[in-house]
Structure 1
């Protein structure tokens, strides 16, 4: 007898920008470039100052993959040449307009757990927080109370509330983003993984700098036998 469910295919990675827009979330504009001239032209369109970075969204986890505060063609060409020397001529780079500062970098994610279903994760984007695996988790969908508890569950949370010399930031906007991400995760059983890296939390808003999503093909069944909770 054949199985009721189709065998799962390989996961498919997609640009998450359009998906996030359906839930009222916008990714900060960027353009992939393949030459210094393309990089300068992109910066002119986006507006100086800009960032030049490795296009792979996962590169934000590695040092030396971003050049900040480029204000003109000469600085851009110098930064581009530095990447070519460091990583090779074939490296794919992206230009992105500088986000408002000051802001606290954070990381938001979703994974589809076989036992619990969609799980939303949150942590700060600083290197130390990543190394210490300072993350919190909540099952999707999230209420506003769930989102508030998730933000406060990480050990580095005081940095968002004006402690240790950091200015207080828009935690309410961050919580709203987490609720929207949780709704997205709950609505889409085909979503295997979502990474928002980084999410800058500023004094009045949040900015998503990078996003990517991985879909299962086809979407498998999602168990929904009642209330779920993480132990």
Structure 2
């Protein structure tokens, strides 16, 4: 009976049978439908709440699929061949995969038009001073390690160093504050324009395939799960939606009178990273963080990447386009 009504109605129908406990699974739906309909012709759920939740997801997906999807930007300025050659050379030396060197990360991102700010790794006061001289001063000394990323109470960056004497003082103070843990690495970099710090990541998910994610950098965003996700290939509107979907997005658009940042530049980075991940399934992980975005562009301050051999089991791109990006905080695997 329900199946017959469903065929004549222009509205979706779902069912829930609260009194069906004990009815054999294989008989429950056909029997309750009068035996005239095949199993699954009318979706059935264990509780009304589950049925309503399923309908809500259907409506949400329908709205997403019906929206304007934007355009894919030209990839004429992408050096895809050079990027593939770089990955191939790395895997020829390390067949099981490898973390890319600083120079390799710079070269890989440059193939897709992303300029990574130069930094110099240092291991002593003397090397830090030499690095400052090489970069022409007005530099920063940074201490980098996993335990410092989530510790805003520890000052691990010394800014505006103008000469060797100031660098020596910065080295002494910074090494003292950080405790010189074995996993702490120090590097020198030119001073970048101040801005909102954001984070980009690409990865190969076992279920969804290639993924690009975006969020503000820092512990609060990580703890709140405030990241947005997109499945390459991505259009310009896909990238815009990823940015606006963040809970913290107002910080990028001039929150409480602050200066709005160059959101178009952020969209451009997302699209370029999506193209890279779509082209190179061998990129298992790539983190571009932090990136300081301001009113007139952005400065990519650090990045790391890992490549592994690819089984290339991805589905076709037009099938992946049917997958709606997961909402913030949802588990993707």
Q: TM-score range by the shorter chain?
A: 0.7 to 0.9
Q: Determine the structure 2 residue equivalent to 1:222.
A: 313
Query: Which of residues 180, 199, 212 in structure 1 aligns to 2:272?
Result: 180
Equivalent residue, structure 2, for 1:27: 116
Q: Which moved more, 1:177-186 or 1:31-40?
A: 31-40
In structure 2, stretches of 5+ residues that fail to align are: 1-94, 327-333
Q: Distance in 1 between matches of 2:252 and 2:280?
A: 30
Alignment deviations for residues 170-227 of structure 1 (CA, whole Å, 9 cap, x no partner) = 11011111100000010001111110011111111111100111111x2122321442
Identify which range, 35-44 or 48-57, moves more after superposition: 48-57
1:44 aligns with 2:136: no
Map of 1:93 onto structure 2: 186
Larger RCO (alpha carbons 8 Å, 6+ apart) = 1
Counterpart for residue 7 of structure 2: none
1:111 corresponds to: 203
> Of residues 157, 160, 177 in structure 2, which corresponds to 1:66?
157
Q: How many residues align?
A: 221
Given that 2:150 and 2:218 are in contact with CA atoms closer than 8 Å, whether structure 1 keeps it comes out as no
Partner of 1:12: 98
One of 262, 273, 283 as aligned partner of 1:191: 283
1:189, 1:222 within 8 Å by CA — same for their partners in 2?
no
In 2, the alpha carbon distance for the partners of 1:196 and 1:107 equals 6
Moved more, 28-37 or 69-78: 69-78
Q: In the aligned structure 1, how far is the partner of 2:108 from the partner of 2:145? A: 18
Distance 2:289 2:263 in 1: 17
For normalisation by structure 2, the TM-score amounts to 0.62
Output the aligned Cα RMSD: 2.1
- Quick check: 1:60–1:197 contact (8 Å CA) kept in 2? no
Give the corresponding residue for 2:214: 122
Contact 1:193/1:215 (<8 A) preserved: yes
Unaligned runs of 5+ in 1: 1-8
Among candidates 148, 156, 171, match of residue 263 of structure 2: 171
Query: Residue 160 in 1 paired to residue 249 in 2?
Result: no
Give me the whole-angstrom Cα distance separating, in 1, the residues matched to 2:151 and 2:234.
30
For 1:111 and 1:45, the matched residues in 2 are separated by 35
Q: Bigger radius of gyration, 1 or 2?
A: 2
Verify the 8 A CA contact 2:215 2:221 in the aligned structure 1: yes
* Higher helix proportion: 2
Higher mean displacement: 52-61 or 158-167: 52-61
Aligned-pair CA distance for 1:79: 1.9
Counterpart among 224, 229, 236 of residue 137 in structure 1: 229
Match of 2:21 in 1: none
